[in-house]
A = this chain, B = another copy of it.
Amino acid sequence: MILSKSFGYALRGILYVSLMQEEKRKVSLDEIAGQLKVPRYFLAKIMKEVVKAGVLSATRGQQGGFFINSNTLNTSLTTIIRLTDGEEYFNICMLSLQKCNPSNPCPLHSKFEPGRQELFEVCHNTTIGMVIKNNKPEFIKSISFH
């Protein structure tokens, strides 16, 4: 598995909340988990981290829920991956040796470097806002695809 399940849940959750911005309403955990067909309690943990990192905001109580803030749409995939897959995700060697170190490369370093770099670039350059703009139409379907 290239990226963790948690990453998928986090991204889809953030996207769902962002899509609801137009109606300017807050979205409850129950709604997100229900719509995305994602384990409710597990999603709760992840969303807590997302809020703690400032990528989304949330309030408790009646009419409470998750909502976007000034960071949300500018958040890069890299930021989300850091939350879900750990700070070291972008540094570890493909052979699981300590760190990917170009000056003392493993036997596969040169082979994997281009694709790997491409993937990392995309993560760094893609924001939530861009993803939403690109897919608008039927993409709620794909988000909630269980």
Contacts and interface: CB of A to CB of B under 8 A. Distances in A.
Nearest to A113: B122
Contacts of A47: none
A52 interface: no
Given A11-B108, A97-B145, A106-B143, 14 more contacts: A1-B96, A2-B94, A2-B116, A4-B96, A15-B107, A107-B134, A107-B135, A107-B142, A107-B143, A111-B126, A111-B131, A114-B118, A115-B122, A118-B118
Interface of A: 1-5, 7-8, 11-12, 15, 77, 89, 92-98, 104-108, 110-112, 114-119, 121-122, 126, 131, 134-135, 139, 142-143, 145-146
